[in-house]
């Protein structure tokens, strides 16, 4: 097994396990003209303390969401639709989750995607 393949395997086995760092979120893909089914996936969510302002000058929380680059257990880099897809997550751990828009694909590799959600 190559080092790259081992890192991809380890990222899913360690970081995306709910008993370790991850939590369950619901991914809502947005596809024009087709029905897309939401699915529950594991994600590592970083809840940023710094808020951004939208054009109406409202405070909008921002989240960094790390998921597997996989269309079954996460979100594949080929299917992501920034500005259309949504992820349902809690603003604070223990609160009721709400849908947040996937704004930006920050980075990706064979193993993981890093997304910004607002």
pLDDT in tens, 48-103: 766 656 667 677 788 999 999 999 889 999 999 998 899 999 998 889 999 999 99
Residue pLDDT, tens place only, 19-46: 667 899 999 998 776 667 899 999 999 9
pTM of structure:
0.80
CATH T-level fold of 3-117:
Thrombin, subunit H (2.40.10)
Q: How many residues does the chain have?
A: 118
Distance CA 117, CA 82 (A): 9
Cα distances from 35 to residues 21, 29, 64, 76, 81, in angstroms, run: 31, 9, 27, 18, 14
Token pair belonging to 8: 């991809």
Please give the span between the terminal C-alpha atoms of the chain, in angstroms, as a whole number.
38
Q: Are strands 86-89 and 23-28 parallel, antiparallel or unpaired?
A: antiparallel
Token pair belonging to 118: 């607002």
CB distance 28 to 87 below 8 Å: yes
> How many Cβ atoms are within 10 Å of 4's Cβ, its own excluded?
11
């Amino acid at each position: 097994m190559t080092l790259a393949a081992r890192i991809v395997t380890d990222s899913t086995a360690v970081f995306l396990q709910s008993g370790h760092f991850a939590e369950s979120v619901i991914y809502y893909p947005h596809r024009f003209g087709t029905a897309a089914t939401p699915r529950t996936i594991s994600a590592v969510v970083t809840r940023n303390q710094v808020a951004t302002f939208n054009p109406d000058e409202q405070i909008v929380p921002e989240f960094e969401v790390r998921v597997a680059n996989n269309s079954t257990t996460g979100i594949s880099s080929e299917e992501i639709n920034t500005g259309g897809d949504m992820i349902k997550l809690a603003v604070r751990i223990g609160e009721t989750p709400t849908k947040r828009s996937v704004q930006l694909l920050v980075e990706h590799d064979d193993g993981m995607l890093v997304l910004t959600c607002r």
